[in-house]
Amino acid sequence: MPSLKDLKNRIDTVKSTRKITKAMQMVAAAKLRRAQEAAEASRPYTERFNAVLAGLAKAASGSDAAPRLLRGTGSDQVQLLVVMTAERGLCGGFNSSIVKLAKVKADELKAAGKTVKILTVGKKGREQLRRDYGDLLIGHVDLTEVKNITYPDAQGIANDLLTRFDAGEFDVATIFFNTFENVVSQIPTEWQVIPAKFDDVDTESQDTGYVYDYEPSEEEVLATLLPQGVSTAIFAALLENSASEQGARMSAMDNATRNAGEMIDKLTIEYNRSRQAVITNELIEIISGAEAL
């Protein structure tokens, strides 16, 4: 049975921990608002941009002049998985859910005889993948010093992917991230960005009955827009990840604060019972001594 001093020290330690988790919860709540607004503000542009690209891709499909970013290399043998996680932990299952989705995809591709390569964005994803998939890691993007995600940050990652694609290092690139839904719900998502894929874009809803003529041709317009489409997809994913991370951290720290409070209550009850037992024993000793006299 722990002594009164040990119990008192444990109570003080848990109280200090509760102060830290409460402070982290408040910081995450403040950051969440800005990150959520940025993620939600980017969605209409991303959806409309992809709808325009989908319409152009539909018109240019089957053409030998279609850009390589649209038609691909003609193979899907080498697959690049871009796993986008956070630089820091203490955010519940945010990082592990993304890594788990990427691992499932990697195992499926390897079982199908494909060559898998992994590029990590964020330290936590790299740490989790290094042990079992270390031989598949080909690069890492460190965003530790980035406080607010900007479009140039996404462009840097996109340029790296495009350079690797032009060099023939892979055939298909897929990004993995969490889509922000609300504070307690973040959805692990995979999105193929190279070659461009628009299966989830509803082009019919954008059809107004007009026929458009493009000058220059659809292929030339796509050649200019598709690299921007890769940057836009990565930027949207980074913003969704940022909001999801803060939401997950806020929820995790709230749970930790409540658990610390419950532990303090239990330890306080145990401390009071132990102190009462000590006092009772001392009274018994005093009474026994008095009777002996």
- Cite the active site residues: 91
| Sheet order of strands, 137-141 included | 137-141, 115-121, 78-84, 172-182, 185-194
Q: Classify strands 78-84 and 172-182 as parallel, antiparallel or unpaired.
A: parallel
Strand runs labelled E in the chain = 78-84, 115-121, 137-141, 172-182, 185-194
H or E element, residue 277: helix 218-292
- Taking the C-alpha atoms of residue 136 and residue 81, their distance in angstroms, rounded to an integer, is 10
Enumerate the H helices of 61-78 as residue ranges: 68-71
Q: Classify strands 172-182 and 137-141 as parallel, antiparallel or unpaired.
A: unpaired
Whats the size of the chain, residue-wise? 293
For tokens 């898998």, name the residue: 116
